[in-house]
Amino acid sequence: MVKKHYTNLKDKIYNFAKDYSSKVGLDLPYFIKGGFWLSVGQFFGTLKGFILSIVFANLLSKEVFGEYSFAMTVLGIAGVFALPGMGVAVVQAVAKGYEGTYFKALKEVFKWSWLGSLLLLGFSIYEYFYGIYNLMLIFLILSSVTDNSFNSDKIFFTSFSFAFSILSINLSASLFLFFNNT
């Protein structure tokens, strides 16, 4: 019975997308099918960040929540140097058959992510001199992590997306426990 409803819903969505393809100017069934897992990962990442902000704001003191927000903001700024859009470009290029693009992109991301790591290391040194050791430690740890967000096999893309979501939830829980105990 569930299979029947699922198939019926799937057909309705497909027909809806097919009907509006000409109005939008895109092949919507292909677009929805191809970008589904990317969208799911982005949606759950945003939802996780929103829920964590609410939980942390209610459970932590103002100072600790401010430190957490500051660390996440600096990490976001440093993450720009890791070329976050490169993963989507690689997936598109590999889907078109340009297999060599992966290693070229990996080289570029690794090269540019060093700037983000140096920025985080600089913040770590800055926090050390001002005596804020918990932020110093966090920035020091984060400076050693580089972003290889597309470093997965195209076959295991869905499982990688799921595993990355679980990993980010675990990292967030660890940060919560770290800030809660300091």
pTM of the predicted structure, to 2 decimals: 0.56
- Asked if the structure places residue 13 within a domain, the reply is no
The confidence score (pLDDT) of residue 87 equals: 77
CA max distance for the chain? 65
The confidence score (pLDDT) of residue 155 equals: 38
The confidence score (pLDDT) of residue 165 equals: 56
101-112 per-position pLDDT tens digit: 888 887 888 888
110-122 per-position pLDDT tens digit: 888 888 888 889 9
Q: How many other CB atoms sit within 10 Å of the CB of residue 2? A: 6
Give the C-alpha separation, 126 to 149, whole Å.
28
Query: Taking the C-alpha atoms of 128, 126, 139 and 72 in order, what is their torsion angle to the nearest 10 degrees?
Result: 130
Side-chain-facing half-sphere of 58: CA atoms under 13 Å = 5
Domain that holds residue 122: 37-181
Give the C-alpha separation, 86 to 106, whole Å.
9
Question: What is the number of structural domains in the chain?
Answer: 1
In eight-state DSSP terms, residue 147 is -
- Asked if the structure places residue 129 within a domain, the reply is yes
C-alpha gyration radius of the chain? 20
CB–CB of 86/108 below 8 Å?
yes
- Asked if the structure places residue 106 within a domain, the reply is yes
- Asked if the structure places residue 26 within a domain, the reply is no
pLDDT band with cut points at 50, 70 and 90 for residue 152: very low
Selection from 113, 55, 53 nearest residue 86 by Cα: 113
Give the C-alpha separation, 61 to 179, whole Å.
10
- Asked if the structure places residue 29 within a domain, the reply is no
**Total number of residues shown for the chain:** 182
- Asked if the structure places residue 32 within a domain, the reply is no
Give the C-alpha separation, 50 to 169, whole Å.
12
Q: 14 is written with which tokens?
A: 């497909």
